[in-house]
Amino acid sequence: MTTRTPEELEEKLHYHFKNKELLITALTHSSYANESKTPTLYNERLEFLGDSVLSVVVANYLFHHSTRPEGELSRMRASLVSEDALFQFAQEIDLGSYLRLGRGEELGGGRCRPSVVSDAFEATIAALFLDGGIEFITEGKTAEDDHKTALQEVVQKHPDDRLTYTVTGESGPAHDKRFQVTVALNGKALAVGEGRSKKAAEQQAAKAALTKLEQQA
């Protein structure tokens, strides 16, 4: 598999680094540095910082856009910054294809390994934070962007109502998967969404459900 360039990732992120080395380091796995003939920085220190940055950003977002109690907010934050969630976020920008890996890690499927890709996602967040500040990471994030939260707020008006999200279809090769998710209200299908990750498909399903409920109101 041909590694894509950092410049291509910058285009996808809609951000151009002032210090390009930060991005290159974020995309460099320890296996690449270990096999390099010259001293090479890799992403573990950035991963450490990115984990904290993400936690603060997510906590701040939830605090301002949800009225749920502390216990529920903590569980929501833990879910949003879990390895599985970060891996799915990373898949939305195909982050694995930009990584610099050692030969062994490459042959072992490192570009699709959740632990490797989610760590690189955290490192990339840290690189963005160091180069562009917290404002860039949070820029444009409004309650309306999170359709699942918005839909949950609507449903909460009726305490007995329950939402469920189910993957009802998958297509495409492993490196370019497409998912179809159906959101149901009390077991009855409400809307369908599609995306390059399960999370993205869920958001699209929630968005479609919100539109449907608004039309029925």
Residues carrying an active site annotation: 51, 122
The answer to whether 212 and 191 have CB atoms below 8 angstroms apart is yes
Distance separating alpha carbons of residues 139 and 182, to the nearest angstrom: 29
CB within 8 Å of 113: residues ≥ 6 apart: none
Long-range contacts of 29-36 (CB under 8 A, 24+ apart): 29/99, 29/100, 29/101, 29/102, 29/105, 29/110, 29/116, 29/120, 30/102, 31/101, 31/102, 31/104, 31/105, 31/110, 32/100, 32/101, 32/102, 32/105, 34/102, 35/102, 35/103
CA distances from residue 58 to 24, 155, 202 in whole angstroms, order as listed: 25, 22, 18
